[in-house]
Structures are given as C-alpha cells and as structure tokens.
Structure 1
Amino acid sequence: MTRATHELIDARPGLARLLDVLDGEGEEARIVGGAVRDWLVGRGARGDVDIATTATPDEVTRRAKAAGFKAIPTGIEHGTVTVIAEGLPYEVTTLRQDVETDGRRAQVAFGRDWRADAARRDFTMNALYLTRDGELIDFTGGEADARAGRVRFIGDADRRIAEDYLRILRLFRFHAGYGHGPVDPEALAAAVRGRDGLARLSRERVRAELLKLLTASRAAETLAEMDAAGLLAPVLGEPGDVATFARLAALEAALGLAPDAVRRLGALGVREEADAVALAETLRLSRAEAARLVALAGPAPTPGMCEKGQKAFLYRMGRERFTDRALIAFARSGAAVDDAGWRALIDIARDWPIPRFPLKAADFLARGLTPGPALGAAMKRAEEAWIEAGFPQRDALDPLVATVLADDR
C-alpha cells in the first residue's frame, strides 16, 4: 500500500479488513469521494470514509456479516449499506447509473462500470477513487481540480443541476470550503439559469447545505458571489446582509472563536424577531436553532454600557445569547476588529463567572412569608435588587431582603 492509503486506514482500524472483505472474488471496492479529495488537498482523514463497490447490496451485506461486521440497509433503494467495522460506520454503495431524475431525486440502476459511476457524480473533485493498494483512479480530471481549488461540474453543468437542483447550493458550499478565486464561470452561469429549481427542493435539504456553507473557510466571499448572481435571496427568502456576515466571520477569526452557523445566519438575515421567525420557517430549522435565532433579535449589549450594566445584561441573558448579540452588534457597528471597548465586552462574556442568586425559598419562608404567589414575587424582586446592587455575596444580603419584605408590608 502507498502512504496515501495508510493515512486513510491508520485512523480506522476496521477499514483495511472491510476493503479486504469487499475487494476480491470477482468484486472490486474502492474508497471514493470526500475522503480521497480531503487527502489530496492535505486535510488528512478526519471525515467519513465512503466505499464504492461492484457488489450488489445483498452481496455487501452477506460479506459484511460473514466477517462479523454489522450491516444496516440505510439507503438500500440507492444501493447503500452502512457497515459498522470495529465501531466505525462506512457507507458502502454499489456502482450506479441514473435512470431517471426530476430535479429532486433520482431512480438508479446498479452497474459495474466505474467510469459511468464517476460520470453521474456532481463535481470532478468528488469523483476520485482510491484502491486498497493506493492507486488513485481519476476519470474526470478531479485530481488537478482538487489541487487547484476548482469546483467544476462533471460534463454538462446544466444537466448536472437539472438532475438535482440542490447542486446549486452544493456548488457554493464546496467552493466556500475548497475553492480558490472566483466560482467557476461555467458552473456559475448554469446555477443562474437553474435558479428557479431551488423552489422545488425540500427545506430540510436546503437547510443542511446552507448551514455547512455558512461555516466554510471562504463563506463570506462565496456568499458575496451568490448575492451578486441573485442566488442568495431565493435561498433565504429575503436579501442577505453579506457585509455584516463578512465582518462577523472576521471577528470570529480574530477572537479565536469557531465559526457558528446559527450566529452567522443571524448576522445574514435577522434584524427583528419577525425576520428570525420567517427565516426559521423558510429553512425548517430545528426548535433549538429557531429559538436561538429568535434570541438574536433583541437589544444588544454595547461598549457604551457601564461594566455593571454589561454584567447585569450577561446575567439575565446567559453567556451564549449575550455573546451572539454582542458579536453581531460589533460586526454591524463597523468598528475595527481590535476596538478596545468591544473587545472588553467580549472578554466579559468569555471570562466573567456568572453568579447564581444565593437566596432560596427557604430564606424567605424563614422570614415569615408563606408559600404562594407572594413568595415568588418577593424572590423575584429580591433578585432584581441583588442584580442592581452588583451581585453582593450572601452575607451582605440581609439588608436587601429586609427592604424587599418591608415594601410588602
């Protein structure tokens, strides 16, 4: 085996055995797609490893079980069996040809022609195969494209897009993650011509591709190209604020923060709560994602607030929401990345240990209150007074509580 194959196999103890099981006795099996592409561009073997094979799904299942692996028919209608080998999953898919497509899904026929299997894939860099002996098989020029950062459709771009309109978004997602320079002109022109097909896609599929795009390394530049081509608004359901998105991405990088898809989506399309609600519906976000997006629409902390006010804001909102709103407000302010006031605000969000309200119901019951609405109201007023006083320790709370209770009498 070459070093290339060893790099892919070393981190996955079961992969060599699985290839041995599938490759032989009249059948061939090769690593395909993203794992090969990522190895070529120096990204190692961090993601999933997919396998293409001439064996039918039934034969894949038989061989896997005979070897002691678990086989799950996760996409059997498209020829995919997920094999669990030594604790790790591998999608094993029989070579295919598209029989019929409608822009959303394809009917496929199984085959044994590697070149035909490559021709039905989307981009040249995704149609690369690696044998268990380390031989790179490239029918479409994908190696050169991957190394050069060219995201190029296989064959006729219009036809590839008409087969599945999600490929418009995949074009921009892969360009944002792997491309150099502008989007391939032929691919971009075909995407513009096929833009009406975006409306035919399920919102769940659009969401999945868009959230991946938003966190890619060149997301800002790519979104600007999408916007200029008139392809961003049809995806979001409204025009996007690409300038704020770009500044937020720069801030995250400068502050050492991981790219965050929901926060970036908020920068791109949320000014008011109604924007968040509409965007969550358009993209069919999860409940957690939608709630977080809505939370981005409220007032934001600013450097103009005193430190006491900033901490009160942080206590009430929690660290995640405070950080989200502060970063987006920072981006929209146009202030320099190293602005001292905004950086101090972000530091508070990161470093200040948010205290817990030190009083419990028992403390108020011991002072003569009885269970019921009045108890809850007194506790809430006491908490607000504690915040206003600057979060004093428990031993300094007696006067504060006495004042609250005196107001009740």
Structure 2
Amino acid sequence: MSEVPVLSDAPWLRSGPAARVLALLNGANEEARVVGGAVRNALMKIPIADIDIATSAVPEEVVRRARAAGIKSVPTGIEHGTVTLVVDGHPFEVTTLREDTETYGRKAKVAFGRDWVRDAERRDFTINGLSVDAAGVVHDHVGGLADIAARRVRFIGDPAARIAEDYLRILRFFRFHAAYAAGEPDRAGYLACIGGRAGLANLSAERIRMEMLKLVVAKGAEIAVTAMADGGLLLPIFGGVAYTGPFAAMISAEHLLGLEANAVRRLGALTVAVTEDAKRVAARLRLSNAEAKALDSMGHRWWRLAGMDEATARRRLYRLGEEPYRDRLMLAWARAGARHDTAWRALATLPQRWSAPKFPLRAADFVARGIAEGPALGHVLTLAEDAWLAADFPFDPSALTAIADQTAARFRRDHRL
C-alpha cells in the first residue's frame, strides 16, 4: 500500500455535509472514508460530482447513527450494504465494506466485512479503487496513484475475470479511458474487452445508452471510439456500420465553431447515413423520444444541404428551426470530410447571423380574397408561404399583396372556383 500524507485541495473533507457524514460514521471502532470517483477527480484536479462513502459499519449501524443525529436515511440498496444519507439536501451513498462471494451479470452476492483492501480489490479500475480518510490521507491498495500519474485506465486484477463479473465494464473501460486517460487504451484491458464482446448481448439497452451517450462527449472520445471500432465492439452495440471518420470530423467541427459537445449530434455522425439508420439506433439504444426525433431529423436527406447558397440555406433554416438545421448541416459537413472548409463554416454559423422572420400573411388576407375557411384556407396559406420563401422573405407591402393575389388566383384556377 502507498499513501500520500494529505489531500490538501479538498475543503469538503474539512467542513460541510461530507465532513459531517464522515464524523458521524467514524469512531466507536468504526471507520469511514470517501471512495471512488470523488477521490480520483480530486487527485486529477477536475470537478467532483457525487461523493460516495464506504464504512466498516453495517447498514443497521449507519441507520442508527443517522437517526440519532437527526439525519434522513434511505435504504436505497440495503441488501448490498448501501444506505443514502441526506445532509443539508445533499445525498451521500454510504456502503458497508464488502466482497463479492458470487457474481452474475450486474448482480452479486456480497458479504460485509472490515477489510479495506478486499473492498478496493472488488472495484473495476485502479483509479476508482482509491479512498481518502477524514484526515485527508489517501489509501491506495491497487496501484491507482501510479495510473493517475500515467493517465492510464487499468482493470484491477485480471481484466477478463473483472469483465466476466459485469460486461458493462467493457463500455466503462472505454468511457473512462476517453474521460481520464491519454494515448492508446491499456493493452491488456483492451484485449480482454475484445475477448468478452459477446457478453455485450447480455446488457440492457438502457445501460448501453447511458454509457455510450457519456462516452461520445468525453474529451478523448475520438481515440476511444476508434479503438472500439477496430476491436469489433461497435457492431454489436449499434447493429450496423460505425463511421469513425465523420465522427472525428464532427468533433473537429464542434471545436471549430466553439460548440459544446452534443451526444446525439455526435451519435448521428457515428451511426447515421440515412433515416433508417437513425430509427435502428434509436430502437437499439432505446433513446428518449426527443433524442430519437433529433437523430431522425439529422439523417433526413442531409446530403441536400451540401453546396447550398445562402438564400437556399435561409429557407432550410426557416423550415427546420435553428437546432435541427445546425445538426443536419453539421452531419452533412462531417460526412463531406471538409474539416476546416470556410463554406461549410459559413453555412453552420448562419443562425448566428440571420434570424428567421415570421410569415407575415394571415388567414384573413385570403378570406378577403374569397377563399373559404377550412382545409382550402390552410392549403392556400402553405402555397403563399412557399412563394414568400422563394421570393427571399419580402416584407414590402406591394410584394406581399402580389404574393397573396397570385396565390389566391392560382388556387381558384386550379380548383375552378
């Protein structure tokens, strides 16, 4: 075991809700430490989300101490030793030290214990196997400190055995590599993921969706996704071809435009050539209705946006709306492979330079021209809007009068009114 004396840049250890939970659970022959991601992120000096706590105290003792201190406890996973304590509105998962006695998929039979080493050894990656006590001392039983220094994601113990315990660890290996590592994935872990890829079929679509949407927006997504494709891991996930070139081009375009990484947009670049692809991916990953709609919109005739002049682009933007226009345009750009092309960039930034106006003609304008209310009126309005777009959005009264007169006359002629 190696230690560093104090995790100095962790004010949440000294005061606040997390420090209060640690103080509650320490003492009277029990010990509590912060474990996992909070320790990893603090050491890597990146933002911390959740703070998870491990303790030698059994769940009943955790609940008893919380009740005595007036702290709410929720038995979120008490059969596996997890109790959630809510302090000042902040939830903390508190889990009793444990070891797996039998594993099957994402479930496991566990035995509670008091051995911090055994508890660390049952975790997935070395960088997640660190713990820090209330004094700030970092405890490393699995080599996590060296891997953080090397920016390396490595399985604890035998990679194949860890994957067989839970095949979701295949996706987590690449997601964590994309988020925290540098360079190529750890070789032993990578080969074990390829060897275990058939196990991906055992995972629920919801779990795969969650991991993949996080993976594609991580800072190292391009390397991780390419490695997955090279290892034959994307076909069983998406059920079709993965396009790593457009995926890389989409990342480049987002950076060039200063856009925040967007999971669905990147997923579209990786998986969608036609709308049938979008429907397949949405079904396989069980995307939300909004995600599925956005993906389908991206894939709908994206190739028609290539080589547009600005007048045509304005009409597309008007019809689609800002976000769907930009996402579809960026898919076309990514699939063209023109990473820094100024013409594509101008089309993509059109929403920043031009706001779509509101169609100025109304139903009353056509009722006054003898068009009866009902379906016919809606049809005439659609024809007039098409003519207004073709004329490049005029607002001059004489131009609008001409559009209204010509549209009404055309409708009457076509329908012999």
Say yes or no: TM over 0.5.
Answer: yes
Aligned ranges for residues 208-219 of structure 1 at < 5 Å? 208-219=210-221
Q: Which residue of 2 aligns with 1:310?
A: 313
CA distance, structure 2, for counterparts of residue 94 and residue 356 of structure 1: 60
Sequence identity of aligned pairs in percent?
A: 50
CA distance, structure 1, for counterparts of residue 403 and residue 158 of structure 2: 74
CA distance, structure 2, for counterparts of residue 303 and residue 275 of structure 1: 20
2:282 to 273, 280, 283: 280
Q: Report the residue type matching 2:401 in the other structure.
A: D
Structure 1, residues 67-98: CA drift from partner, whole Å, max 9, x if none? 33332222233222222221222222222211
Q: Which residue of 2 aligns with 1:27?
A: 30
1:156 to 152, 155, 158: 158
Structure 1, residues 232-287: CA drift from partner, whole Å, max 9, x if none? 22222223111111111112112211111111111111111111111111112112
Q: Which residue of 1 aligns with 2:56?
A: 54
Aligned ranges for residues 182-221 of structure 1 at < 5 Å? 182-221=184-223
1:260 to 262, 270, 288: 262
Verify the 8 A CA contact 2:252 2:339 in the aligned structure 1.
no
Structure 1, residues 109-158: CA drift from partner, whole Å, max 9, x if none? 22222111101100000011011111101100101111211111111111
1:38 to 20, 41, 46: 41
1:18 to 5, 21, 42: 21
1:334 corresponds to 2:337? yes
Q: Secondary structure at the match of 2:8?
A: helix
Q: Cα–Cα, structure 1 residues 336 and 190, in superposed 2: closer, same or farther, change >3 Å?
A: closer
Q: Which residue of 1 aligns with 2:328?
A: 325
Verify the 8 A CA contact 1:5 1:132 in the aligned structure 2.
no
Q: Secondary structure at the match of 1:101?
A: strand
Q: Cα–Cα, structure 1 residues 109 and 365, in superposed 2: closer, same or farther, change >3 Å?
A: farther
Structure 1, residues 187-206: CA drift from partner, whole Å, max 9, x if none? 11211221111111111111
2:239 to 234, 237, 240: 237
Q: Secondary structure at the match of 1:296?
A: helix
Structure 1, residues 33-91: CA drift from partner, whole Å, max 9, x if none? 1111011112143x111111222233323333433333222223322222222122222
CA distance, structure 1, for counterparts of residue 177 and residue 320 of structure 2: 36
Query: Shift in Å at residue 7 of structure 1?
Result: 3.6
CA distance, structure 1, for counterparts of residue 366 and residue 6 of structure 2: 73
CA distance, structure 1, for counterparts of residue 247 and residue 222 of structure 2: 7
CA distance, structure 2, for counterparts of residue 355 and residue 151 of structure 1: 51
CA distance, structure 2, for counterparts of residue 128 and residue 282 of structure 1: 35
Aligned length: 406
Verify the 8 A CA contact 1:4 1:39 in the aligned structure 2.
no
Verify the 8 A CA contact 1:7 1:44 in the aligned structure 2.
no
Query: Shift in Å at residue 363 of structure 1?
Result: 4.5
TM-score by length of 2: 0.91
CA distance, structure 1, for counterparts of residue 117 and residue 293 of structure 2: 46
CA distance, structure 2, for counterparts of residue 364 and residue 62 of structure 1: 75
Q: Report the residue type matching 2:158 in the other structure.
A: D
Verify the 8 A CA contact 1:40 1:147 in the aligned structure 2.
no
CA distance, structure 2, for counterparts of residue 283 and residue 366 of structure 1: 52
Q: Which residue of 1 aligns with 2:395?
A: 393
Unaligned runs of 5+ in 1: none
Verify the 8 A CA contact 1:266 1:296 in the aligned structure 2.
yes
Q: Secondary structure at the match of 1:217?
A: coil
Q: Secondary structure at the match of 2:299?
A: coil
Larger mean Cα displacement after TM superposition, 395-404 or 276-285 = 395-404
Q: Which residue of 2 aligns with 1:175?
A: 177
